[in-house]
Amino acid sequence: METFRTYNPEDFYDELFDANGIPRPGAQLLVDMIEVLPAGDLAMRQKEAEALLLKMGVTFNVYGRDEGTEKIFPFDIIPRIVSGDDWQQIETGLKQRIHALNEFIQDIYNDKKILKDRVVPEALIHTSRTYRRECEGFTPARGIWCHVTGSDLVRDRDGRFYVLEDNLRCPSGVSYVLENRRVLKRTFPQVFEASRVRPVDEYPNRLLEMLEYLAPDHVQSPTIGVLTPGIYNSAYFEHSFLSQQMGVELVEGQDLVVSDGFVHMLTTKGLKRVDVLYRRIDDDFIDPEVFRPDSLLGVR
């Protein structure tokens, strides 16, 4: 099977082949394996992978569809190969970028130096629909605003990575990355074994460590929860997945109550104080007392 014999990437940067049609560093083994597959085998592996994802429950909800609400996450069994050098540059750049974004948010809600120095027009900030005047003068625990960031990347024809946008509020998709990796390991096990692919399965533990770091200093064993809008949310699979992987509570707004200035969880034994919440609810809906009064998702 000569899968790539007539392949033409045209005027785009191709992840597998260079401009001369030669496999890029790190891609040779994958290309060789695909080339020797029997006719129809690649399509069969794609269908098997999609069936496995469905069996694993790796789905997301689609609103307004008559044929059903749950769909498997789009999946391509031919992986994107990123070299170690490229990833090092991405990792270094994103860390720097996210730190700068965190400092920016802290500044616009407190000292406002970036506005006073006219680096950013004041009207641009204060007329933004997502600017929260209720947060002025507020500093979150440990001074961290950007706990989890989702940066969309694209590689241009020059081969360099660029950031399209940053999602700092409720980024989703990491659970699909983790589960897709599990499926890819079954699809091309030899490639993974020989290519020294960096693992991603430590993410839930890293997330849990970050949440524990945010707990008050005097709390030895913090109670942590993942706050979800509920089963009809498009990312509910991820909310459930992460709470299970971290071993923490999965809660909805109706499970929580604010008492004496602290969030508590309703249990069969009464109220239990929650030390850290990883919220997966948009800002508008988190607090009906402050933001949208018609919200049924937040905590009162």
- Residues 49-75: tens digit of each pLDDT: 988 888 888 877 666 555 556 677 788
- Residues 117-136: tens digit of each pLDDT: 999 999 999 999 999 999 99
> Residue 290 has what pLDDT?
79
> Residue 295 has what pLDDT?
79
DSSP string, the chain: --TTTT---TTS--SSB-TTSPBPTTTHHHHHHHHTSPTTHHHHHHHHHHHHHHHHT-EEE-TT-TT-SEEEPP--SSPPP--HHHHHHHHHHHHHHHHHHHHHHHHHTTT-HHHHTTSS-HHHHHT-TT--GGGTT---GGG-S-SS-EEEEEE-TTS-EEEEEEE-SS---HHHHHHHHHHHHHHSHHHHHHHTPPP-TTHHHHHHHHHHHTS-TT-SS--EEEE---TTSTTHHHHHHHHHHHT-EEE-GGGEEEETTEEEEEETTEEEE-SEEEE-S-HHHH-TTTS-TT-SSS--
> Residue 21 has what pLDDT?
85
